[in-house]
Structure formats: C-alpha cells, structure tokens
Structure 1
Amino acid sequence: MADNKSSVLTVSIVTPDGEVYSNDQVTMAVIETMMGDLGILANHVPVIASLRIGETRFKFNGNDMDTVAVNGGFAEFSNNTLTIVADSAERKGDIDVSRATHARERAEQKIKDAQSKNDTDALKRAQVALQRAVNRINVAQH
C-alpha cells in the first residue's frame, strides 16, 4: 500500500511580514501564474513560476479546501514542497470585506483622478490596488 505522505504536498506561503499559510496535508494546489492557472499534485515536476494577483486554492482529502488571496510574487515546487513567496497574502477567514470594499472604492477614485490628469504612473498603481482589493473581496466571498 502506498504511503499517504507520497500523495500530499507541504505548502508554505510567506510574505515580508512572515508566514501566512502552512499545511502539510494538501492533496492539490492551484496557483495563478502569469501564464495561467497551474494545478500541482504530488510528484509534479519541479517548477518555478511568477504569480499574478489571484486566489490560490488548496484541496485536501474529501472536499475540504483552503483559499488564500495572493498578491503577486513567485512559487517554487520541488520534492512535494510548494513554497510561495508573495508580496502580500491573506487567508480567506482573515479578510476584512469592509476594509477591502473601501480599498476598492479608493482605487476606483484614484483611477478616475489619474485618467483626468493623464498620469500613467498613478493610473498603473491605482489599477494594481484595484486588482488587489477585488481579489480580496472575491476570495472572502467564495
């Protein structure tokens, strides 16, 4: 009979503020890379990928799942260990939807202001802030 450890992944998400997520019983991970979604099962080939702003999902035996809002960074997978180094990340249960909604509204206003001033740098920053806020809201509501 196969060892259960050979069919699971160890996952860790770290940010500049410290570890956000850690679990050694993940059966499947889905990460949002710059090239599209990537599903990772045990014994997947080693990979390094840049991450876009999006949700990262972890599945366990049965239908249990964890979701984390990841805001950029990179992922490295080898030897059944997935390490995500993110600019910022929040677990689904830690997201303050009210705060994220206010952040979305601020970003939308900054986009309007930047467009009216033709400020491309401010526009790009505001668009990223909007993506992050929307990602946090989406993760919290799923």
Structure 2
Amino acid sequence: MADNQSVLTVSIVTPDGKVYDGQTSLLVVKTTTGELGIMPNHVPVIASLAVDEARVLRDDGNKNEIAVNGGFIEFSDNVATIVADSAEKQGDIDVTRAEGARKRAEERIRKAKEAQDSDSMRRAEVALRRAINRINVANK
C-alpha cells in the first residue's frame, strides 16, 4: 500500500473499547439497506449497520473478519469508523459461548410465541441474529 491516497484506515469501536484498527484497500460491511464496499477516496458516507460481519481485505489477499452487531459506519477522508453495539474479531469468538447464546435465544423465541409477547420476541430474535453472526464469523 504505497501512498495515503491508496489506503483507508479502519477503526471499529464499541462501548468496551477499540476492537480493530488497521489499514486496507477495501472494507465491506452490511448496512440496513444492503452491502457496502468502501475503497480509498470513496465519497463520504454515514450508514446504519446490520448485524453481520465486516470484512477488511489485507495486503496478502486474505481478510480480517469481524462480527459486528449493529451500530453505524462513518467514512470520510479515507477514514472509516465503525461504532458498534458490540464486535469481536474472528479469532476472539468463543464458539461454545455463542452456541449457548443461540440455544437460549431460540428458547426465548419459543416462549415468547407461546405467550404471544411481541416485545420479548423481537429482543430474542436480535439475540439470535447476534449469536448466529458470531458463529458464522468464527467458522469461516
């Protein structure tokens, strides 16, 4: 990555602190309206993020994958900042814990359906999406 105009800096932060900080030539995230690829010199953008992964292409052709659970992205002047509710790098995800969270969320969904409790159902569905996202990123 030769000059500052051909790279972008990516920073992913959560209420618990910085999860990722690095430079890349391509960042791909999923917004609430679809997938967004950002390369150096992209037009400024602010977007809400879906529960999904952020993919950061590395110089060697591989990529860093980070499970991002909501939040938003702001990009300008070749700096992308993701502010997420929570985020974990692929290697930091405890799959056993994520599987447990998935099972608990599925049980909460079952109970909310029986009780016809739409608020509990929505919260449980979000918890399930987050658990599945973590499992998917960890297993790539």
Q: TM (normalized to structure 2)? A: 0.97
Task: Indicate the residue corresponding to 2:102 in structure 1.
Answer: 104
- Tell whether 2:114 aligns with 1:116: yes
- Tell whether 2:15 aligns with 1:16: yes
RMSD: 1.1
Shift of residue 48, structure 1, vs aligned partner: 0.3
1:66 aligns to what SS in structure 2? Answer: strand
Shift of residue 62, structure 1, vs aligned partner: 3.0
1:42 aligns to what SS in structure 2? Answer: coil
Matches within 5 A, 1:1-142: 3-23=2-22, 25-142=23-140
Any unmatched runs of 5+ in structure 2? none
Shift of residue 37, structure 1, vs aligned partner: 0.4
Structure 2 distance, partners of 1:55, 1:3, is 27
Deviations 1:73-98 (A, max 9, x none): 00000000000000000000000000
Deviations 1:25-73 (A, max 9, x none): 2110001101100000000000000001000000022312100000000
Shift of residue 101, structure 1, vs aligned partner: 0.3
Structure 1 distance, partners of 2:101, 2:60, is 35
Q: Runs ≥4 in structure 1, deviation > 4 angstroms?
A: none
Code of the aligned partner of 1:86: A
Shift of residue 5, structure 1, vs aligned partner: 2.1
Q: TM (normalized to structure 1)? A: 0.96
Shift of residue 3, structure 1, vs aligned partner: 4.5
Q: How many equivalent pairs are there? A: 140
Code of the aligned partner of 1:35: T
Any unmatched runs of 5+ in structure 1? none
Structure 2 distance, partners of 1:126, 1:72, is 15
Structure 2 distance, partners of 1:61, 1:5, is 14
Shift of residue 6, structure 1, vs aligned partner: 1.4
Structure 2 distance, partners of 1:4, 1:135, is 34
Code of the aligned partner of 2:15: P
